[in-house]
Amino acid sequence: MSHQALEEFLAEAEELLEKLNQDLALLGDSVETGEAGPDLVNGVFRDAHSLKGLAGMFGFDDVAELAHHLENLLDHLRLGKISLNHPLIDCLFDTLEGIAGLVKGKAENQEFTQDISSYLTRIEHLLSGPAAAENDLLAGLTIDPALLDVLTEYEEHRLQENLRQGKCLVLVKVTFALQTFDTELAAVTESLKKSGEVISTLPGAGDGNLEMLAFRILCGTEQEPEDLQRNLGVENLEIEVVAAARQSEPGPSPAPEPDQIQPEPTASVAANNGAKQPEEQFVAESAQPAEPVAEPPVQSAVTTVSGEVERPSQDDPSARSLTSTVRVDIGKLDYLMNIVGELALAKGAIAQICNDLQAQGLHQGRDLEKAIHILERRLNELQGGVMDVRMVPVRQLFDKMNRIVRRMAFELAKKVKLEIHGGDTELDKLIVEDLADPLMHIIRNAIDHGIESHKRRRELGKDETGTISLTASQKGNHVVLEVRDDGKGIDPELLRRKGIEKGLISADDHPNRQELFGLLFHPGFSTCDEVSEYSGRGVGMDVVKSNISALSGLIEVESAVGQGTVISLTLPITLAIIKALVVRITGKDYAIPLNSVLETLMLEPGMLQTIEGREVMELRKQTLSLLRLDKFFQLSDADSPDNRFVVVAGIADKRIGIVVDELCGQQDVVIKSLGKALAFVKGIAGAADLGNQKTILVLDVGGLIGETLGLEGALGV
């Protein structure tokens, strides 16, 4: 295993261990009442599961096995099969210490291991002990059997627990619009959690309207149904009482605590009337009697690789971290980046003062200019350092797609494998996060629409296992992500028929291939005749288009019938601090990201041409489409200068010429979002402050290219 991979494992494992330690402490505080919050228990269970998966992925089988047994013990607790008591908490903490010891040993030597049999024996003893009693409170209740049949074992246990506590059991029936159901459902769920416990969320029976989704939320609450409905304040909501509130049942008697095995008395133990000293808690199993034992000592023996018993060193720096990696919230990095941007603006203002001093012939201006150059170098270094911290490999995102591919292929009964190339290519963390949903939509479409069934692939002479490839590569200041599948491809004729049916094109039109591919990104467009869980609703690819546009990116489609499809996403490496070219149009200033500016030239008489009503010019024997921002933004008419300029901007292989009145120079800018209220404005990526207390708009070059070339049949965003 590489050093970098080991560092990633140690950082992730240490974070999970710290979280488990904190949550187990909270769980221990609940022992006296015998009641622990289900969210807390589930959180500990999930973290143990994550730790098991993490160790298994990196090949540390001993850590994975111990974490698996820890997970099993927690699963029994969450299902009410064992009681929450001190022996359980002690076992959980000791097992966690055993895992931490293994992880720490692997930080120094990847081959390190130790005997974990004592931990496993102790866990099995707890699992085989007397189970917590649980009365069947469902008997005598008129609960729909169809509802009980769809509940998991855990959900049925929580249902019983809510009934035992005397809570009212209600079924909240609610309907949401398809476009906003995820956020609205989450909001209703959070509101219900404030009033009780959400036991299960189930699909509901809709009224046949494909634009609406219905849900049933089973929850236990102490509120009256009328109060609950009033507090939720949601339309299209109905509450059905499944079981009325009643006096709470007495809690189950805790299982008898297993006998603790006492070590054989030593001199120090006898001298203290059997009181165990802290250092005597570590006792080798070989010192115990040969007969079977009910449970090992409270503290397990610590063994080396050779199996010899050792007592831990008292000066062992066990509180030290296993890795030098520090995990930082991206919000803190954004705050730091904003400060760097403000410093850059302040530097620009000082530079202007320096120019004024030099223009007045003052010698202090030269000294100030030298100081400004030093400040600029240090700011560039600081900016570069912050940017390096924000950059993450796209493998973090690609690896998450494995689960989606496996699950969806299983549900659709298809054979699909995922190949990843260029996973070490780096992108800004925020861009990677915003890219997750678009990439998921593209992969879902590739599996659902592109990859054929293994039977059909055999008939076509293809490998029965379809392949989806994720490839990342850096090109200049942009990163290109490709999603390639070897499926049936996209039939342009089918797109044309569907476009005519939807009224997007007329029967007399003869669009080219790229114009037809552009229909895929039209809201409500779908090539499927039947609605399923994954397709047919026309929701998905238009979301991809919007999200990529918000990232100032481009999306392109290439496909061959019978061979497969390639969808390419071209994205800037970062959207934090950028160098921009400030331009002026009809007296208003705009910023164009410099990483998209290829060249600038003066627009001379005779250079403009008109082709089918669109302005173009010839540049090095190629036709360049022109965009006049005053017309695009519908700015007020103003006298245009005789000499105008063309800013040649491009992303990937797409080029346009932006006609401007004046070039005002370069400047570092920090892009600020315009917010959701202005998200509909096309061609604008955000706003930026200049050093002179002036705010200007930053152009979205990707969106402008898409709007301009989209009129000519080239696919943009």
Cβ contacts of 677 within 8 Å, gap of 6 or more? none
pLDDT of 536 strictly over 60: no
> Which residue has better confidence, 686 or 117?
117
- pLDDT interval class at 319 (50, 70, 90): low
User: Which residue, 392, 425, 446, sits at the end of a domain?
Assistant: 392
Q: Pick the range with the lowest mean pLDDT from 117-126, 178-187, 327-336, 363-372.
A: 327-336
Q: Pick the range with the lowest mean pLDDT from 58-67, 88-97, 447-456, 513-522.
A: 513-522
Strands 196-203 and 577-585 come out as unpaired
Query: Which domain covers residue 446, as residue numbers?
Result: 394-572
Residue 336 domain-assigned (yes or no)? yes
Q: How far is CA 528 from the centre of its chain?
A: 29
pLDDT of 565 strictly over 90: yes
- pLDDT interval class at 301 (50, 70, 90): very low
In this structure, the answer to whether residues 165 and 181 fall within a common structural domain is: yes
Residue 88 domain-assigned (yes or no)? yes
User: What is the model's pLDDT at position 457?
Assistant: 92
- pLDDT interval class at 269 (50, 70, 90): very low
User: What is the model's pLDDT at position 408?
Assistant: 84
Residue 334 domain-assigned (yes or no)? yes
Note the pTM of the prediction, 2 decimals.
Answer: 0.54
User: What is the model's pLDDT at position 66?
Assistant: 93
Residue 713 domain-assigned (yes or no)? no
In this structure, the answer to whether residues 174 and 302 fall within a common structural domain is: no
User: What is the model's pLDDT at position 317?
Assistant: 47
Residue 245 near residue 228 (C-beta atoms within 8 A): no
Query: How many Cα atoms sit within 13 Å of 48 on the Cβ side?
Result: 26
pLDDT of 478 strictly over 60: yes
pLDDT per residue as tens digits for the range 414-468: 989 889 999 889 988 888 888 888 898 899 889 988 899 989 999 999 999 999 9
pLDDT per residue as tens digits for the range 542-556: 778 878 877 878 888
Average model confidence (pLDDT) across the chain: 78
User: What is the model's pLDDT at position 291?
Assistant: 39
In this structure, the answer to whether residues 423 and 561 fall within a common structural domain is: yes
CA nearest to 628, candidates 643, 647, 642: 647
User: What is the model's pLDDT at position 461?
Assistant: 92
- Could you give the percent of the chain with pLDDT greater than 70? 80
Q: Pick the range with the lowest mean pLDDT from 49-58, 252-261, 318-327.
A: 252-261
| Domains in the chain, number | 5
Task: Determine the angle formed by the axes of helices 541-550 and 429-445, rounding to 10 degrees.
Answer: 160
> Which residue has better confidence, 134 or 452?
452
Query: How many Cα atoms sit within 13 Å of 266 on the Cβ side?
Result: 13
In this structure, the answer to whether residues 89 and 126 fall within a common structural domain is: yes
- pLDDT interval class at 142 (50, 70, 90): low
In this structure, the answer to whether residues 455 and 565 fall within a common structural domain is: yes
Beginning with the edge strand found earlier in the chain, give each strand of the sheet holding 196-203 in spatial order.
196-203, 212-221, 168-177, 237-243
User: What is the model's pLDDT at position 132?
Assistant: 55
User: What is the model's pLDDT at position 566?
Assistant: 94
User: What is the model's pLDDT at position 677?
Assistant: 67
Task: Determine the angle formed by the axes of helices 429-445 and 330-359, rounding to 10 degrees.
Answer: 130
CA nearest to 701, candidates 548, 528, 483: 548
- pLDDT interval class at 471 (50, 70, 90): very high
Residue 704 domain-assigned (yes or no)? yes
User: What is the model's pLDDT at position 287?
Assistant: 33
Residue 349 near residue 691 (C-beta atoms within 8 A): yes
User: What is the model's pLDDT at position 65?
Assistant: 92
In this structure, the answer to whether residues 553 and 623 fall within a common structural domain is: no
Maximum distance among all alpha carbons in the chain?
108
Cβ contacts of 558 within 8 Å, gap of 6 or more? 565, 566, 568
Q: How far apart are CA 140 and CA 145, in angstroms?
A: 12
> Which residue has better confidence, 69 or 383?
69
In this structure, the answer to whether residues 547 and 670 fall within a common structural domain is: no
In this structure, the answer to whether residues 286 and 406 fall within a common structural domain is: no
Residue 470 domain-assigned (yes or no)? yes
The CATH number of the domain holding residue 591 is 2.40.50.180
Structure tokens at 208: 């046949």
In this structure, the answer to whether residues 20 and 6 fall within a common structural domain is: yes
In this structure, the answer to whether residues 620 and 649 fall within a common structural domain is: yes
- pLDDT interval class at 567 (50, 70, 90): very high
pLDDT per residue as tens digits for the range 9-61: 888 888 888 888 888 888 887 877 767 788 888 889 999 999 998 888 888 99
Using alpha carbons, list the distances in angstroms from residue 319 to 14, 100, 676, 685.
12, 11, 46, 47
- pLDDT interval class at 576 (50, 70, 90): low
Residue 716 domain-assigned (yes or no)? no
User: What is the model's pLDDT at position 249?
Assistant: 57
pLDDT of 496 strictly over 80: yes
Q: How far apart are CA 265 and CA 283, in angstroms?
A: 11
User: What is the model's pLDDT at position 276?
Assistant: 38
Residue 140 domain-assigned (yes or no)? no
In this structure, the answer to whether residues 501 and 478 fall within a common structural domain is: yes
CA nearest to 259, candidates 285, 301, 289, 298: 298
In this structure, the answer to whether residues 559 and 618 fall within a common structural domain is: no
Max mean pLDDT range (171-185, 375-389, 416-430): 416-430
User: What is the model's pLDDT at position 715?
Assistant: 36
CA nearest to 688, candidates 680, 697, 679: 697
pLDDT of 112 strictly over 70: yes
The CATH number of the domain holding residue 450 is 3.30.565.10
User: Which residue, 520, 540, 572, sits at the end of a domain?
Assistant: 572
Structure tokens at 595: 């990483």
Q: Give 647's strand partners.
A: 600, 658
The CATH number of the domain holding residue 235 is 3.30.70.260
